[in-house]
Structure 1
Amino acid sequence: MDELTRVRRWDSAGQGPSDQARAAARARLDAAVAAETSPGHTVRAGGPSRRLVLRTGLAGAAAAGVGVTVVVTRDGGGHDRTTRLDTVSAAEVLRRAADRSRTANRDLPVPRDDQYFYTRTYVVQTYLKGGRTRTWTDESWMSVDGSKPSLRQENGKIHHDPPLGKHEVRWPPTVYSELQEWPTDPDKLLDQFRHGMKSSLRNDVVAFSEGCMLLMGPRVLPPALQAAAFEALSKLPRIRLDYHDATVAGRRAVGVSHPGDAFVFLFDRKTYDYLGLRTKGSSAKKVNGEWKQVNYYYRTTTLEDIQVVDHIGQHH
């Protein structure tokens, strides 16, 4: 069985990524694992595209990135913010986040296929060496089932996305009825994230990336599914805490990451509310005739608001 073959139905026609897309994704993943396990390994930027509508040719790219996020933040007195986290494991943080999700998201609306997700997202980009910190507040209106045009704002720039074509898919799906068919048993969901493959470094990176893609939005998830996703990821070996993560929207956060993936989940340190995702990125520059990755930065994305609305421009 091809480990990049989707084990769930993506649309009524059963369309999935092409063989070329699967091969490209597998090649990127193999290179990532080889780099992660090789002597003298150094962190490189990576991670899936932030484009919210994933075309068929891009499906599966979530496993491409490798990175390690360690951001040191100190309080006003210069003391590290590690209080009360020394005895809590990454798995326990994810389990507590699952418990919080079951209660916090109980009243989320159920979207119709003909509606839109309105999202307001706050983005902070901090460069590792020099450069000013940049921030954006992006607003987007995404067609729930992809049948209508969408308006997407990314880093302050507006993009007009056409309806999905016949052979295009959105991954993960945004249609609520499709998401309701996903397993909410953590073991079964983890098996789905791994595409039915046994636990290994490569397959666990795929599973963690799939969980990130599911939770990064924009979509309204059935509350039981979000909780199950956190519990499923808590069962992965190698997950770890980022003790010194940054403050997110004024709330002290703790991160949970996997050494084979560029994404870091961010949770409130007291309530375990899910706050958003952090990743490491860079820009490309031509140096002596060769393209090199420069200007490394950390980007934190926080979903400030999500609503189900009837048309573009409506906020609630």
Structure 2
Amino acid sequence: MNEMNELNELMRELDLLREWDADTPPLTDQARARARFRLHQAMLSPTTLAPATVRRRPVLRMAMAGVAAAAVATSVVVAENNESSPRTQPVSATTVLHGAAIEERRTERPIAPRDDQFLYTKEIIKEIPAGGGGPTRTYVDESWNSVDGSKKSYVSELGRKQWVPVYGPGQGTWPPSKWTELKLLPTDPRKLAIVLRDMGGKPDYSKPMKAGDWPMTQYFLSGLLRRPVLPNGLRSAAYEALATVPGIEVVPNQKDADGRAGIGIRFVPIGSGTVRSHPRPPLLVFDAKTYRYLGMRDQRTAGGKTYEQWSYVAASAVVDRVMQRP
């Protein structure tokens, strides 16, 4: 019933649009994006459609544990504000990730780096001892990664800077880090999950994903999303592929490193019962209104101490040499 009311509301708005005064200022990009997303969700509603069958470095930072056996469709209630008045509606992990994909397509810009260039990133990491009792430390990590791996990269991790040697014969990472290899990854969410599952071999699209395939596949998808710069369409495809991964839950009332209100998405090992009995999985934090990705909340342990950690990418660009900034 809520979904039908939402659709009726949208139809009334379309009727008003037909009577719209041409002298009225145009909608903002944010308002237009929200309207498109609401229409998209209403179209996907089962009430309007017939049923269908259907650390830090290296690259992979988010460690997944356990074997996924079934999808967890956890919904929570969060406040969503529009221009007129606040309202409350249930939001699922699938809704947030599909919304993030829509927002990414709206805002992404074309990029085509040359093999001899570098991908510059500036990442802000804030951390505090778990449970308090210590000052907040802030790290500004700037890195220059060779586009094709043929040149030495210069990276920073929690303030520790180092040169990374060039790839040797047959060396690389998975998911791939070379731009030419990233461009070969499919932007179809289903195919992307299968290609990552098959780890660089010839993908078998006829072989369906099994429960035992998901733990490593979601690890690879998360590692792919950790890359600040990706070919057009790949990040949105990764968000949509993550929406199909079993063991996803929404964590409301989160904040990013700069205190902005957000919604958290995390992966819970199937069969864990409660996350309190397992290491807390990292959180991907998305804007509570637009679902734009804001950053990550995580933990790290060093010297017998545990630290709460928030991070986000403050800048990224293609540059011609190490130490060059945009």
**Normalised-by-shorter TM-score class:** 0.5 to 0.7
- Rounded Cα–Cα distance in structure 1 between residues aligned with 2:293 and 2:130: 25
Q: Deviations over 1:62-115 (max 9, x none)?
A: 64668xxxxxxxxxxxxxx9423750101100000000111111x242111110
Structure 1 residues 190, 167: closer, same or farther in 2, change over 3 A? closer
* Corresponding residue to 1:128 among 99, 107, 130: 130
2:210 corresponds to which letter in structure 1? Answer: S
Q: Does 1:51 align with 2:53?
A: no
Aligned equivalents of 1:104 and 1:121: distance in 2? 20
1:133 deviates by: 1.9
- Relative to structure 2, which stretch is displaced further, 161-170 or 179-188? 161-170
Letter in 2 for 1:228: A
> Is residue 283 of structure 1 aligned with residue 295 of structure 2?
no
Structure 1 match to 2:282: 263
Instruction: Output the amino acid matched with 1:240.
Output: E
Indicate which of 206, 209, 225 corresponds to 1:198: 209
1:237 and 2:243 equivalent?
no
Q: Distance in 2 between matches of 1:108 and 1:304?
A: 19
Q: 1:265/1:193 Cα in 2 relative to 1: closer, same or farther (>3 Å)?
A: farther
Q: Residue 309 of structure 1: CA displacement?
A: 0.4
Aligned-residue CA RMSD in angstroms? 2.4
Give yes or no for contact 1:263–1:278 (8 Å, CA) kept in 2.
Answer: yes
Alpha-carbon distance in 1 for matches of 2:173, 2:149: 8
> Aligned to 2:154, which of 148, 151, 154?
151
2:121 corresponds in structure 1 to: 119
Partner of 2:3: none
1:233 shift after superposition: 0.8
Deviations 1:32-73 (A, max 9, x none): xxxxxxxxxxxxxxxxx2224x6xxxxx8864668xxxxxxx
Q: Quick one: structure 1 residues 299 and 86, their matched pair in 2 at CA, closer, same or farther if it must change by over 3 Å?
A: farther
Larger Rg: 2
Normalized against structure 2, the TM-score is what? Answer: 0.66
Matched, 1:104 2:107: yes
Structure 2 counterpart of 1:309, from 276, 298, 319: 319
Match of 1:83 in 2: 79
Q: Distance in 2 between matches of 1:279 and 1:82?
A: 22
The residue aligned with 2:224 is: 214
Q: Spell out, residue by residue over 1:109-152, the C-alpha distance to the aligned partner (whole angstroms, 9 max, x if none).
A: 21111100111100011322232221111111111111111111
Counterpart in the other structure of 1:227: 236
Q: Which residue of 2 aligns with 1:297?
A: 307
Structure 1 residues 35-50: aligned runs within 5 Å: 49-50=55-56
Structure 2 residue 191 is matched with structure 1 residue 172 = no
1:273 paired residue number: 292
Structure 1 residues 230, 224: CA separation in 2 closer, same or farther (over 3 Å shift)? same
The answer to whether the 8 A contact 2:62-2:282 is kept is: no
Change (3 A) 1:271 1:61: closer
The count of corresponding residues between Structure 1 and Structure 2 is 236
User: What displacement does 1:249 show?
Assistant: 2.6
- Which whole-Å deviations, capped at 9, do the CAs of 1:246-266 have from their partners, x for residues lacking one? 233342221111113833211
Report if the CA contact (8 A) 2:126-2:137 is conserved.
Answer: yes
Contact 1:101 1:223 (8 Å CA) reproduced: no
- Aligned residues of 1:216 and 1:276 also touching (Cα < 8 A): no
Preserved contact between residue 148 and residue 180 of structure 2 (Cα < 8 Å)? no
For the Cα contact (< 8 Å) 1:255–1:266, is it kept in 2?
yes
Secondary structure (helix, strand or coil) at the match of 1:166 reads coil
**What is the CA distance between 1:275 and its match in structure 2?**
1.7
In structure 2, how many angstroms separate the alpha carbons of the residues matched to 1:197 and 1:125? 41
1:253 aligns to 2:256 (yes or no): no
- The alpha carbon displacement at 1:197 in A equals 6.6
- Residues 243-292 of structure 1: per-residue CA shift (max 9 Å, x gap): 132233342221111113833211111221112222222124xxxxxxxx
Q: TM-score, normalised by structure 1?
A: 0.68
Q: Percent identity?
A: 34
SS state at 2:253 partner: coil
Q: CA deviation at 1:190?
A: 2.2
